[in-house]
Amino acid sequence: MIRIDRFHLPSFNAPSTEGGLLREARFWAFLSAVPGILAASLLFLSVRQLWIPCAGMVAAGIALVLPIEYAIFAFLGYLSIEGALKINSNYNPIVHVGGDLLLMVLLIRSFLDRRSGGFAKYPHTPFFKVIAIFSIWLFLQFVNPFGLGLAPSIAGSKLYLSMIFFAFLIFHHLERKHIDALFLCVVVLATVQAVLASVEYLYGQSFVLALHSRYKTIAGARFVGSLYRPFGTSAVPGGPSVWIFLTSPMAMYLLIKPNGSLVKMIFAGLFFAASIPALFFCQVRTAMVIFAVGAVAVGGFPGQGFKKRMGRMSLILAVAAIVLFPKVEAFFLAPDVADVPVSALKNAAAAPTQATGGNGKAGEISSAQMEKLTERFGSLGKKGTFTSARSGALDAMIELGQQTIFGIGLSRVGAASALWAARIASDPLFGLKWSFGDNLYRTIFTELGLPGLVAWLTMIGLILSFLVRTSLDSTLKVDHFLLWTCAMAVVLLLLGGWGSEGILYTPVSTIFWLYIAVGLKEAYSGG
């Protein structure tokens, strides 16, 4: 049997059943193909079309060759580079939906897997009924008289449902002992993102912008020069910060878990060391806040082992304070970005874009870059940053509710609306005005209406309250600290939803439902 938790590779010398030998053969077949896939991927700079077949080979290998429990880990790895694949393939239609196709194949395999119960196991998933109620209202939007049609409705529905199915895969195909390995997988992926972000920022943006014209289009005039935000392997400026803040709770869990593995503690420590500078370079304030609050909320678990966790956290904070104090002092004394004249920002956007730090020295931060970094971080101490940012969401919901409380259909808001922009613009009742979201709850209300928003909040609220109650119930034989970690991560992402509808998009939706699946797996395995 393949032991994910101990990272043992399968051996043909060990006793094995016929089915086990088949699984091992498929594993080694995939492993033997990896060097060839990687070698072909290295050629993308000269023959960019290779991105498409390479992505297809990797996805096919993950979906068809690997056992489902391994494929879940590989699926996360694929999602971590999906953004770069999309851009460098010029948003090839197949690559654009590569993650969805991969997930669909894994679900079909799961439905047909008799050893795990096949499709019959899914109705027995915890909270299946409330998930089904939400799904029914979602499918009713297909016939919404204000909707955009069948195709946009199908495309929009996957934003709400696809990662729920991913959670089902985790719950039914990973064992309780695999949870730490799953967390470690995400921590490693996020650490890679953090390192790439720092290297990309320090050595300038020319290299990345030269990979494909799409990078320049996405960066535009807003994120260039000293205002540049690294892409990493994501599809948006500052994208690595998303992986970083999503991973903060699970990394803190691995770092201060009582009787935890030393190896996992080291990897978690490396994650935090790489993430702090990367967050400054990405300049995404929401990510900075959730990263810090997530780590503190997890470490503040009031259950058994509290003193030991606080001791480890105090040691970590002391080391961080010694290393970072000079920079932190400068950051807090810096002026607010809101106080900088617009003309100065425009001049900054026109700053040099060569493959250096902007001052002609590769690997160093220019004075203009340092000024913008300190301004961005310093704005966190301003009250207006949190009271004015993303304002107007509630007013927009009230305004729409005066016309209809049942929603105006799927694919209406955010990135999902881009493909249907012409159709939305021609709508005489609900045009492009309603395509702006930047708020999870406003987005759900706009597309699914008040019943949909209530159904979604009820579904998440019931799951969250169960995780919190179970984490604090000392009579249950569960990992209470793990349940607390998952619950706090969900709470933080829900709070972050006021400033973004990211929970509907990968990787936020992926990790959001991963926390839920892991929490439910632990609760039902041990309780």
**pLDDT tens-digit series, residues 470-508:** 998 888 888 899 999 999 999 999 998 888 888 999 899
Which pLDDT score is estimated for 92?
A: 78
CA separation for the pair 388, 451 (Å, rounded): 28
Sign of CA dihedral 378, 382, 387, 391: negative
Which pLDDT score is estimated for 452?
A: 95
Q: Which residues of 193-208 are buried (b: 16+ CB within 10 A; e: fewer)?
A: bbbbbbebbbbbbeeb
Q: Which residues of 240-254 are buried (b: 16+ CB within 10 A; e: fewer)?
A: bbbbbbbbbbbbbbb
Average pLDDT, the chain: 77
Question: What's the whole-number mean pLDDT along residues 453-479?
Answer: 93
Q: Is 329 left (phi over 0), alpha (psi -120 to 50) or beta?
A: alpha
Tens digits of per-residue pLDDT, 387-442?
455 567 888 888 888 999 999 999 888 877 888 888 888 888 888 888 877 889 99
**Both structure tokens of 193:** 């993102």
Instruction: Please state the length of the chain.
Output: 527
Per-residue pLDDT band at 365 (split at 50, 70, 90): low
Per-residue pLDDT band at 62 (split at 50, 70, 90): low
Q: With 50 as the cut, is the pLDDT of residue 9 above it?
A: no
With pLDDT > 70 as the criterion, what percentage of the chain qualifies?
70
Identify the weakest region by mean pLDDT among 11-20, 159-168, 194-203, 243-252: 11-20
CA separation for the pair 50, 439 (Å, rounded): 37
Q: How many CB atoms lie within 10 A of CB 272?
A: 21
Strands (E), 292-377: none
Question: What's the whole-number mean pLDDT along residues 33-58?
Answer: 51
115 or 298, greater pLDDT: 298
Contacts of 219 (CB under 8 A, 6+ apart): 205, 209, 228, 237
CA separation for the pair 54, 72 (Å, rounded): 19
What torsion do the CA atoms of 349, 350, 356, 359 make, to the nearest 10 degrees?
-100
Question: What's the whole-number mean pLDDT along residues 128-134?
Answer: 95
Q: What is the DSSP letter of 9?
A: P
Identify residue 226 by its one-letter amino acid code.
S
CA separation for the pair 488, 298 (Å, rounded): 7
Q: Is residue 230 within 8 Å of residue 240, measured between CB atoms? A: yes
